[in-house]
Structure 1
Amino acid sequence: MAVSKSYILAALSFLLFCSFKLSYCIGNSRNTITACPEIEKQALLSFKQSLKDPSNLFCSNLTGHVIQLHLQSLSGKINPSLLNLKHLRSLDLSQNNFEETIPFFIGSLTSLEYLNLSGAGFYGKIPHNIGNLSNLHTLVLKDNSESLEVDSLEWLSGLTKLDHLNMNSVNLNKATNWAQVINKLPSLVELHFSFCSLNNFRTPQNNLNNNITSLAILDLSGNFFQSFGVLRWIFQLSNLIFLDLNFNFFEGPIPSITNTSCKLQHIDLSNNLFNSTIPEWLYFCKGLEFVSLGLNHLQGTISKSIANMTSLKTLDLSRNELSGKIPREITNLCKMQSLDLHQNNLAGEISDSLGNMSDCFLGALEYLSLSQNQLSGHLTHQFGEFKSLRLLDLISNSLSGVIPNNLGNLSCLEFLYLSRNKLTGNLPESMGQLLNLKYFYISDNMLEGVVTETHFAHLLKLKGLYASTNQLTLKVVNPNWIPPFKLDILNLRSWNLGSGSGILSWIETQNNNMNHLDLSNTGISGNVPSWIWNIRFLNLSHNQLHGNIPVISEPEDGYQAGNTVTELDLSNNSFSGDISHFLCDTTTNETNRLEILHLGGNNLSGELPAECLMKWSSLKVLNLGNNYLFGRIPNSIGLLSSLQSLNLYGNKFSGHIPFSIQNCMGLVKIDLADNHLDGNITAWMGTSLSNLRFLILRSNKLIGEITSNICHLNALQILDLSDNMVSGTIPKCVDNFTAMAIKRDLSEFDFDEMQYSIFSKGFLESASITTKGSELYYDTILSLVTNIDLSKNNLSGDIPKEITNLVELRSLNLSGNHFSGLIPDSIGNMKQLESLDFSRNSLSGEIPSSFTIMSSLNYLNLSCNNLTGKYQKAPNSGASMSQALLGTIFVVLH
């Protein structure tokens, strides 16, 4: 029976309203419709009865043979009556919830040319008899739930007409010969094996190019490939126009293509380990529209030959190790819409690269990211001439000069990121003309002057303003001004917001939406308004706020439910009163949602109320340091099972450290320094605190010996037990402190991320330690600090040679004890050591000659011992990891 294409289209149009779509055959005449055969009617009725169709989506009035079926949003079972649809050519069961294995009988629908089972809820092994469907042109088995698998792909070999195959997220790990099978599909045009757990490749015996010359679209992204063999095969495919290999483990150089003409239009090699230069052949693929090589280890420069890539729309070379200047030829590429070069080592004056941009480049570009490079110089007037630009990201460079006034002409701009540069001058009032601006980052610059409501006049869509650490003053001229926007985020740290800004008044108009507010170090004073608790992240530290801390309450009427404060920093103000007022007098019996509480550096007093801590079980960071709190640390502290950082330093706490602290197994930092704590130092120290990195118990009245229990804390990088009454010897197992013993590669650290807290993107974790003869305060580089301070105790015995295995240790202080014997000869192994103090002990023997190889050492005190010999300074003594730790060499021997 012949099929009329025009009639099928008409039938499909009629059925667009149904999720159950059918196409029909017609009679011998083009103008007559043959009634649906009874067997096919019954087949559909039986099929429907086995399915759950709550929305009654099935169509009726069936006519002709059923040749096409499309179902969606159904559940239940697939009925075998489907086999009676002998003329079925297209079966689409995608986006359902059948929750069964793929029915075996589907392999008997031999007329099928199109089969789509993606996201249908099927699980288990794909039946081999799908390989019987020899008429298939399209097979889509994409698995959204990652619950389908195969034990082999040999069954694909019979599908010789197949031109489109999509098995994304199907587990193909056992299909070791997948490439040989693909080689038997000569009609294949499109192959999608993304996130299929492939990690092997066997080169087929036959030349792949001879068998699959039709392959144009290849997606092998998200697998575990390392083999150069699969790369060699891929880059021999002569007709590829689309290639996606991102998220694999390919390393070494990017291969060359073997054919003389490059037909590629899309290539994605991002998120691999390639470490070569950008291959020269890439620049001569004139048809390339999309290139992504981001997140590799590519080196060298960007060639001026990029001018050849006249079709290029998207170029992503981000997060590599590229250097040199950005070639100005890029700005002549008239179709460029997205240019991402962020996080490289690109340098030079920005005006040399982007100072003479073509009109077509200015008209086409929508996305420009050059952040985290080494670009310098001034932004030119041309930056205000983009016609379609939606994102401009220049964060973390060395740009200077003023912000061009005509940036306010960028009518399409949604994201403007200029933070962490050296920009000066006033904030242009023209910024208030950016009608579509959503997020504006200008923090950490040297901007100055007054900001008024004019700067925000037409920012109707503004959601986030990061403008901290500038010398700006907010002065709202109209006291009744209501901002035209509703902010999610406002960060004005270090602005001048004293009297006259009306800051709290206009922030109250934002309060229903805002979830992040940082007004730290802005000169604001007075009491904290109660509505402030409706903001999730709140930092009002380093101001002149005073009075009692108001009780945290549930959101007021009209505010978003669940939008109560979860991160709170009120440190370094003048709050006073009994702490129990804040911790106990809550307006609800429910558990408090607060995760970070920083009240350090105030005038708070009283005891920690044991019975109230159970209401704060969500706390991850608790900082009550430098107040006037007293009494015992309650055992109920152990109920804070989520706690990661406990800071009670600088108070008047007494009694023992509670044993229950071991229940806080996630603890990373304990700082109880400068209190009156007593008891045995290791009575509470077990094996449960395996994540502990910072243990600071300085200046208490602790006694007892340092037992081998402490060696279970192998993540420790700061151990400060100084100024106590600890006795005994240093356990030899100290080299179990692997964070101090295993050499670290500083290149693995993201120094921009380190400005944030270890525990939160908003709060900065900090610690004070004594090193180089004075007390130093660390915050932004705390993650890099390694320190052992056991000074001013009653320790004795030898200095164990095992301590010299701590090759990452940067400061060691054992002064003011009763150590005897020799300084270990292997002291020279500690090449990272910058400060060493063995003074006021009973050490004897010769000063080890290995001091001469300790090139980082810039503070050494061996005085008040019985040592002999001479100290010889290392040739490069004084070198260290950062300016924060540098110092002039200081040596005391007598």
Structure 2
Amino acid sequence: MSFILLLLLYVTRFDKSMCSNHTTRCNEKDRETLLTFRHGINDSFGRISTWSTEKDCCVWEGVHCDNITGRVTKIDLKPNFEDEPIRYLKGEMNLCILELEFLSHLDLSLNDFDVIRITSIQHNFTHSSKLVYLDLSNSLITSMDNLDWLSPLSSLKYLNLSFIDLHKETNWIQAVSTLPSLLELQLSNCNLNNFIIGTSFKYVNLSSIVTLDLSYNYFTSHLLDGFFNLTKDINFLSLSGNNINGEIPSSLLKLQNLQYLLLAKTQLKGSIPDGIGQLINIKGLDLSGNMLSGFIPSTLGNLSSLNDLSIGSNNFSGEISNLHFAKLSNLDSLDLSNSNFVFQFALDWVPPFQLSLLSLKNTTQGPHFPSWIYTQKSLQDLDLSNSGISLLDKNKFKDLIERITGQLILSNNSIVEDISNLTLNCFDLRLDHNNFTGGLPNISPMANFVDLSFNSFSGTIPHSWKNLKILYHISLWSNRLFGEVSLHFSDLNQLEIMNLGENEFSGTIPILISQKLEVVILRANQFEGTIPPQIFNLSNLFHLDLANNKLSGSLPHCVYNLTQMDTDRVYAWRPATIDLFTKGQDYVYDVNPERRTIDISNNSLSGEVPLEMFRLVQVQTLNLSHNNLIGTIPKEIGGMKNMESLDLSSNKFYGEIPQSISLLTFLGYLNLSYNNFDGIIPIGTQLQSFNASSYIENPKLCGAPLSNCTTKEKNSKTATPSTKNEDDDSIREWLYLGMGVGFAVGFWGICGSLFLIRKWRHAYFRFIDRVGDKLYVTLNVKLNSFLRN
């Protein structure tokens, strides 16, 4: 019994101790510093709402405290990318947070901070900094003037400022060299273009560095031997994306601890030195995208620890065979793309490695599919685009492509195969520009990019495609597919690019479509019915092509909420390639939200064009030709000042062409032919530069470049004055009219009275007689006087 009582007493004291410890955890000084940091943040997503509702700062989101002292030791406010939507912090990043006395870990990366405030940290530090880890990378901070604030952080081992503009900081290398404990330095994409690798490096102390990333700063400098004497313990070095020029220095080969050497896209010249085999610990080697030449040294095959090898996109020559890879048993990733090698792999060669990634794009492999690739059971990403393949082992090929879960890219080959009975499990599928036949394959619900264009697929879209919930790009252009598509795309809410052109799809245009659509191409199918108003409510849409279908009815009279087409706002977008039709011709074009297009030509649309369409001021290509549209061209068309291609031909438009159309100074293609326009073509630099074919078959239309108008037409046109002239003419007409009426009234007022009143008539005649007599007497007197003289 006494044991039980003792146990209960212990539990009670322990519970009270825990409760008491919790209530005293938050240090008031730390709390005030955090609230100062919080003051400049725009927390529109409520990410750190607990910072204002909870008194204990140790339970605030992203804040971690020491269990014993209750002091803040770690702050991690990096956004969680599993959230929907992702909750970014915005506003001001105040580095007063570095004043936290026991802070050892600070991660503010990947947020949307656009301003940074650097207080006089050196003067505010009354203690020795315990900060070990600092990551401010990938925020939206446009510029940081200096790095002097780093000097008190003597314990710092990890520093990542990648994607922060440091071009104003000319002494950054001296600033980071004041950090004696620094092991890892990440300054990728920091615009360090004024950085020069010179002899001064021998006075810089970076001996502790083991990881150095200066990639994509675009500085111009040679790699001097002294640069690689900074530290002999370095195991990760990335200088990719800089203008290094020159050859690979021999001193680099003395870095025996080096595990990763990344020198891609640095304009290196010369050959790979034979001494490359001395880097026995190397795991990752990237020399791609340079101007290296010569043969691949056989010593490359001695790097038995190598996991990742990328030497594509150079000017190498000669053969490459299985002998170069005989000892590379740990190889996991191989990139030989864009190379002129003569590939001499034995037909029965079984590599000593199992790759997860292989890229041989833009190389000569064909006509046979490389047999050794069939042996790669762990392959997740395969790129054999444009490699001349036409022949393959059907069974082995099908097994291989079903196993791939990452990227499967076989574009621009001549593969003929029926894969309709397969289920492809990759998330990125590109089989375009081949000759695949049969029905479409089943595709994994994890797919987000599918391009099967320019093949010979036939049949309908598989029912299973309804499950592609994260698909954002689909291109089935130029196949032999048919059937209705409404049901297949109703649940694809992430879709951004939908290209179904050049097939035989029928039915109506889907009404339930993704609100994220940016590109809609249904060109050259058998779609019928009206155009749903929902199409013109897609705020991200910048390319709409519904041409060459059987659409009828009038254009929707609705709010044209096409934000991309009526403002200069540009949304984030993913690179892709689609087929655009503009300026009277077609061409392949990389998707670019700055190119706005509407093409609904070659249908049976009728009625007037809603005025809202002519208010989409950012549209560059507008094609409404070959329909039954009526009405006049509104003067608002002059506001579409980015217009480069305008085709209204073969409709029933009438009336005069508005003078405002001459404001379209970027117009490179114009077709108004086969309508009922009348009057004279407005005078404008652009309008007269087109030949007569742009205006023909408008019987009442005249003016350059058509034949001259008749005198009557010219007078009629030129008699159309400005508003001011019209007012002046009107006043003049009323003045003349008033004078005429006044004269008539005066004349008949006097003469009528003489005829009607006898007394006035007799008086008038007596007055005339007296005047006559007086004139007679005066004339005789003057005449007699003249004769006497």
Q: TM-score, normalised by structure 2?
A: 0.68
Name the CA shift for 1:742/1:430 in 2 (closer, same or farther; >3 Å): farther
Preserved contact between residue 638 and residue 663 of structure 1 (Cα < 8 Å): no
1:467-506 equivalence runs, <5 A: 467-476=336-345, 481-498=349-366, 504-506=370-372
Preserved contact between residue 692 and residue 715 of structure 1 (Cα < 8 Å): yes
What does residue 348 of structure 1 align with? 220
What does residue 186 of structure 1 align with? none
Preserved contact between residue 269 and residue 291 of structure 2 (Cα < 8 Å): yes
Preserved contact between residue 192 and residue 218 of structure 1 (Cα < 8 Å): no
What does residue 383 of structure 2 align with? 518
Q: Deviations over 1:345-366 (max 9, x none)?
A: x3213x1xx3242564251322
Preserved contact between residue 286 and residue 309 of structure 2 (Cα < 8 Å): yes
Q: 1:705, 1:131 → 2: CA distance? A: 66
TM superposition shift of 1:466: 1.6
What does residue 121 of structure 2 align with? 257
What does residue 21 of structure 2 align with? 130
Preserved contact between residue 862 and residue 893 of structure 1 (Cα < 8 Å): no
Preserved contact between residue 808 and residue 833 of structure 1 (Cα < 8 Å): yes
Determine which structure has the larger helix proportion and give its number: 2
The counterpart of 1:413, out of the listed 276, 282, 288, is 282
Name the CA shift for 1:719/1:739 in 2 (closer, same or farther; >3 Å): same
Q: Deviations over 1:306-356 (max 9, x none)?
A: 336252432222344443224545574222222223344x3213x1xx324
TM superposition shift of 1:413: 1.8
Q: Deviations over 1:93-118 (max 9, x none)?
A: xxxxxxxxxxx853534xxxxxxxxx
Unpaired segments ≥5 residues, structure 2: 32-46, 79-87, 688-703, 707-789
- Secondary structure of the residue aligned to 2:185 is strand
Q: 1:449, 1:469 → 2: CA distance? A: 14
Stretch moving more, 688-697 or 462-471: 688-697
What does residue 222 of structure 1 align with? 77
Q: Deviations over 1:728-784 (max 9, x none)?
A: 4433446323344453458x66xxx73xxxxxxxxxx542121233211135x4676
What does residue 771 of structure 1 align with? 582
Preserved contact between residue 219 and residue 244 of structure 2 (Cα < 8 Å): yes
Q: 1:229, 1:418 → 2: CA distance? A: 37
Q: 1:468, 1:444 → 2: CA distance? A: 6
TM superposition shift of 1:494: 1.7
| Amino acid across the alignment from 1:871 | G
1:557-706 equivalence runs, <5 A: 563=403, 568=408, 573-574=413-414, 582-584=419-421, 593=425, 600-603=432-435, 608=439, 625-628=453-456, 633=460, 636=463, 639-640=466-467, 642=469, 645-653=473-481, 657=485, 659=487, 661-679=489-507, 683-706=508-531
TM superposition shift of 1:795: 3.4
- Secondary structure of the residue aligned to 1:106 is helix
- Secondary structure of the residue aligned to 1:777 is strand
Q: C-alpha root-mean-square deviation of aligned residues, in Å?
A: 4.6
1:65-464 equivalence runs, <5 A: 81=7, 83-84=9-10, 106-109=14-17, 128-130=19-21, 173-174=49-50, 176=52, 195-196=62-63, 218-222=73-77, 231-232=95-96, 234=97, 242=104, 244-247=106-109, 251-259=115-123, 264=129, 266=132, 268-271=134-137, 272-282=139-149, 284=151, 287=154, 289-290=156-157, 292-295=159-162, 297-304=164-171, 306-307=173-174, 309=177, 311=180, 312-328=182-198, 329=200, 332=204, 333-344=206-217, 346-349=218-221, 351=222, 354-358=223-227, 360-373=229-242, 376=245, 378-464=247-333
Preserved contact between residue 661 and residue 684 of structure 1 (Cα < 8 Å): no
The counterpart of 2:684, out of the listed 857, 871, 891, is 871
- Secondary structure of the residue aligned to 2:490 is helix
TM superposition shift of 1:177: 9.4
The counterpart of 1:723, out of the listed 532, 548, 552, is 548
| Amino acid across the alignment from 1:767 | I
Q: Deviations over 1:785-829 (max 9, x none)?
A: 542211223334544442355455443323334545554544465
| Amino acid across the alignment from 2:194 | G
Name the CA shift for 1:849/1:255 in 2 (closer, same or farther; >3 Å): farther
1:841-860 equivalence runs, <5 A: 841=651, 842=653, 844-846=655-657, 849=660, 852=663, 857=666, 859-860=668-669
Aligned residues: 646
Unpaired segments ≥5 residues, structure 1: 1-37, 47-79, 86-103, 110-126, 134-138, 140-151, 158-170, 183-190, 199-213, 539-551, 553-562, 755-764, 875-891
| Identity across the alignment (%) | 25
TM superposition shift of 1:286: 8.8
- Secondary structure of the residue aligned to 1:775 is strand
Preserved contact between residue 623 and residue 648 of structure 2 (Cα < 8 Å): yes
Q: 2:49, 2:13 → 1: CA distance? A: 25
What does residue 15 of structure 1 align with? none
| Amino acid across the alignment from 1:726 | L
| Amino acid across the alignment from 1:106 | F
Q: 1:634, 1:273 → 2: CA distance? A: 42
Preserved contact between residue 571 and residue 598 of structure 1 (Cα < 8 Å): yes
TM superposition shift of 1:439: 0.8
Name the CA shift for 1:669/1:451 in 2 (closer, same or farther; >3 Å): same
1:783-822 equivalence runs, <5 A: 786-822=596-632
- Secondary structure of the residue aligned to 1:736 is coil
Preserved contact between residue 839 and residue 861 of structure 1 (Cα < 8 Å): no
